[in-house]
A and B are shown apart, each in its own frame.
Chain A
Amino acid sequence: MGAKLRVNGIKLSQELIHINVLAQPDKVPMFTHFLTSMAENRINCPIIFYSAMDSSVLGACCVAAEDTGRLDRALALKPELKDQVVRIAPVGAISLFPHRYSLNLLGCLIHIMGQASLPVYGLTASLSSLTVTTDFELLDHAIDLLKHHIRLPAQHAPLRSDLRIRAL
């Protein structure tokens, strides 16, 4: 690999639950039905991954692990959703910023994830950061691998979010 890519920072999420919402062809669009249920129950979905190309619909999101009880109660009210939801937990998100829309950085990130056989549950970009989700227990390992390929400011330590906003 070439020179290290410059990144100003890395942010790590708290423990999350990754939720795949399975589509049912020709039936109610399950993913938006799920999102409506989350909104009605005031459960935040901070990360969303969605595609609907041709007839293939893939919808997934992450919610905070501490929302597990509220998620259980919300799904209990929607039996049609309960069987369509597959959970993976705990997962965590790594956000590299700024991405500068760099395909080099995207390539670096997915190459490292693939080479180390780290599961990729989803990847997306915000205005400034490139976010990938993997197993929570593998976050530190992923960061160690990334540090071989990216150049961070001196004395930078990955930020671990300890601020949590919870809707009542």
Chain B
Amino acid sequence: METIAVYWESRAKTYGFDTVQGLSLLQLAMQSDGLVNIGALLQAHSSGKCFKWVLAQPCPLHGIRLFMALKQEDVPGIEALVNRAVEGGAVIDTQTTHPVALINFHGPHFGDRYGIADAALGTLRRKGLPILAAGCSGASVYLAVPDKLSADVITILSKVFESP
């Protein structure tokens, strides 16, 4: 069955912007089989520790890259696990970027609508604001940006998205 409806809004509505500052963005580069090792370490030894956001992408040079946005107090423990994976050869390279701000927002049916990613990532790019990492799934948009630029990012996003 097909239902046709017409809906238009000048600015896409969101449920508001959430910003967490002072995070660290841990980046691991590994061959694909490194997922087994780092996955087992995280599964066995990270109880009580949380990610704030994650992203993984295949990378032409290093197999796969895994990004984890973490609270600063969780970084030493996770870095210790990662170092074990580095020593075992599972992880090729690591990099920690700090401080990073994580901005997330979501809106009604974002996952079903065209133009949301362009309104967020494209607009920031056109305004010259750097995005370190981003991911969209479901109705959520997550952006990791340099901490000191988070207010500017929110200002720009507020012009293209409606916030309550």
Contact B115 A39 (CB under 8 A): yes
Give CA–CA (A41, B118) in the complex, Å.
12
- Taking CB atoms, residues of chain B closer than 8 Å to A53 are 27, 95, 97, 132-133
B19 vs chain A, min Cβ distance (A): 14
- Taking CB atoms, residues of chain B closer than 8 Å to A35 are 117-118, 121-122
- Taking CB atoms, residues of chain A closer than 8 Å to B68 are 103, 106
CB < 8 Å: which of A36, A42, A106, A124 contacts B136? A124
Contact flag A106-B51 (CB < 8 Å), given A32-B118, A126-B138, A127-B138: yes
Question: Total number of A-B contacts with CB less than 8 angstroms?
Answer: 202
- Taking CB atoms, residues of chain B closer than 8 Å to A42 are 114-115
Contact B57 A58 (CB under 8 A): yes
Contact B57 A125 (CB under 8 A): no
- Taking CB atoms, residues of chain A closer than 8 Å to B135 are 48-50, 124-125
Contact A47 B137 (CB under 8 A): yes
Task: Report, as a range, how many residues of chain A touch the other chain.
Answer: 35 or more
Give CA–CA (A124, B111) in the complex, Å.
14
Greatest chain B CB density within 10 A among A32, A124, A129 is at: A124
Contact flag A129-B138 (CB < 8 Å), given A36-B118, A61-B117: yes
Contact A60 B57 (CB under 8 A): yes
CB < 8 Å: which of A100, A106, A120 contacts B32? A120
Contact A46 B111 (CB under 8 A): yes
Give CA–CA (A142, B122) in the complex, Å.
34
Does chain A have a CB within 8 A of B53?
Answer: yes
Give CA–CA (A105, B144) in the complex, Å.
22
Nearest residue in B to A168 (C-beta to C-beta)? B4
Does chain B have a CB within 8 A of A165?
Answer: yes
Complex interface residues of chain B between 55 and 84 (CB less than 8 A to chain A): 55-59, 61, 64-68, 78
Q: Mark A124-168, 1 if CB is under 8 A from B, else 0.
A: 111111111000000000000000000000000000000001011
Contact flag A112-B39 (CB < 8 Å), given A39-B115, A44-B113: yes
Enumerate chain A interface residues (CB-CB to B < 8 A).
Answer: 1-2, 20, 29, 31-32, 35-36, 38-39, 41-53, 56, 58, 60-61, 93, 95, 100-104, 106-115, 117, 119-132, 165, 167-168
